[in-house]
Amino acid sequence: MSTCSVDAGASGTDTAGDHADDGAAAHGEGGQRAVDPRDRHHGNRYTAAGEGFRLTRDGWICELELPLDFDLLAREVAFPPVVKADPSHDGILDQGTWCLISGPGERAGSIVMPHRTD
Residues 6+ apart with CB under 8 A from 16: 4, 5, 6, 8, 46, 52, 53, 62, 64, 101
Lowest mean pLDDT among 52-56, 68-72, 96-100, 111-115: 111-115
Which strands make up the sheet holding 54-56, listed edge to edge? Answer: 54-56, 59-63, 99-102, 91-94, 83-86
Q: How confident is the model at residue 11 (pLDDT cuts 50, 70, 90)?
A: very low
The pLDDT, as a whole number, for residue 84 is 92
59 or 106: which leads in pLDDT? 59
pLDDT at 92: 92
DSSP characters over 35-65: PPGGGSSSS--B-TT-SS-EEETTEEEEEBS
Chain CA centroid to CA 93, Å: 11
Per-residue pLDDT tens digits for 79-93: 999 999 989 889 999
- Evaluate whether 90 touches 50 at the Cβ level (below 8 Å): no
pLDDT in tens, 97-116: 989 998 888 776 664 445 55
State the pLDDT at residue 33: 54
Whole-number pLDDT of residue 34: 56
Each domain of the chain, given as residue ranges in start order, spans 36-109
E-only strand ranges, 1-118: 54-56, 59-63, 83-86, 91-94, 99-102
